[in-house]
Structure 1
Amino acid sequence: MPQLALYTFGVLKSPLADPAPLTREFHDSAEPIYRTLSEHPGYLGHAEAAEGSRGAHFDLDWGPWGRFAVPAWYDKGRTTDTMAFAASLSLWTDLGLAFDAIYTGLHRAALNRRHDWFERTGRPAYVLWWVSDGTVPTWQNGVSLLEHLHDHGSAPHAFGFRHAFGPDGTPATVKGFGPKDARAH
């Protein structure tokens, strides 16, 4: 059964190491949000650095998720003190369940505050794509597909919730972005 990969990337207004209250607030919200998402139906897992890895995202061992990467247009810091981005890579069983997890609860509350924390880049903040069961998407897959989505728009191999596709490549409707009560499964 195909699985849904989700890569997110946002440029923060200030580096994560910045002690300013808004930056700390964003940083401190991450753990409870990840915990809530990991308990949501349809969640399969997310990229985590190997235990004992130290350093910035670029220096960590991400195991099967591959070497950490960011979009070519990201032009801020890459060290622990200068990084000004938030990125995630996760796997889901279902388009509708992933949508529900992202647009409800703690994550929805954080999305409502995104303009407090993130720059408006004019680029997509996330990309979705289907992978074969047992395939672990990589950071580079996510970056490449996010850039493809920006350059070419939605396609069966790189899309957003608004213009989604099912595992078979046909257009799919997601509850909240189409006819009332429609849901892609």
Structure 2
Amino acid sequence: MPQLALYTFGVLKAPLADPGPLTRELHDRGEAVYPEIARQPGYVAHAEPAPGGRGTHFALDWGVWGGFAVPRWYGKGRAADRVALAATLSVWTDLRLARDAIYSGLHREALNRRHDWFERTGHPPYAFWWVADGAIPTWREGVGRLEHLHDNGPAPYAFTFPRSFAADGTPGSR
């Protein structure tokens, strides 16, 4: 049975290395959100760097998730003192369960604060697509899907909650 891949990407207002309270708050919130999301029904897995890695997103070993990649519109830098992004890559069993997890609990609280931490870029913040059962999406694939969504709008190749598609390509309910 196909599974659902989800790539999220946001450009932060300040670099991750910024010692300010908003950056610390975002980091602390993320530390609490990830374990809660991982316990939700429908959650399968998410990209995590290999233990013991050092450096920023770009320097870490992501294993089967592939080398870290970002959309073409990200321009804040790749050096540790300039990286200003938040990205996730995960796999879910279905769209309804992913929606329930994302729009509840600590993650819902964080979404309500997203404009405190993230720039409004005019680009989609996430893209879904279907993968074969057991397949692991890569960061580059996620970037490609998000860029396709931005350039072409929702389609079976890359879609959103409001404009979703079933695994067979038929439009979802709206």
Spell out structure 1 runs of 4+ moving beyond 4 A: none
**Partner Cα distance (1:44, 1:172) in 2:** 21
* CA shift for structure 1 position 82: 1.2
Deviations 1:70-104 (A, max 9, x none): 00110002122211000000000010000111111
Cross-structure match for 2:84: 84
Matched, 1:98 2:104: no
Amino acid at match of 1:169: G
Deviations 1:112-156 (A, max 9, x none): 000000000000000000000111000000000100000000000
Cross-structure match for 2:117: 117
Counterparts of residues 23-38 of structure 1 (less than 5 Å): 23-38=23-38
Structure 1: gaps spanning 5 or more residues: 179-185
Cross-structure match for 2:142: 142
**Partner Cα distance (2:60, 2:25) in 1:** 24
**Partner Cα distance (1:136, 1:92) in 2:** 11
* SS in structure 2 at match of 1:151: helix
* SS in structure 2 at match of 1:171: coil
Matched, 1:130 2:130: yes
Q: CA RMSD in A?
A: 0.7
Matched, 1:46 2:39: no
Amino acid at match of 2:151: D
Amino acid at match of 2:44: L
* CA shift for structure 1 position 9: 0.2
TM-score of the aligned structures, taking structure 2 as reference length: 0.98
Amino acid at match of 1:106: L
TM-score of the aligned structures, taking structure 1 as reference length: 0.92
**Partner Cα distance (1:145, 1:86) in 2:** 17
**Partner Cα distance (1:28, 1:124) in 2:** 24
Structure 2: gaps spanning 5 or more residues: none
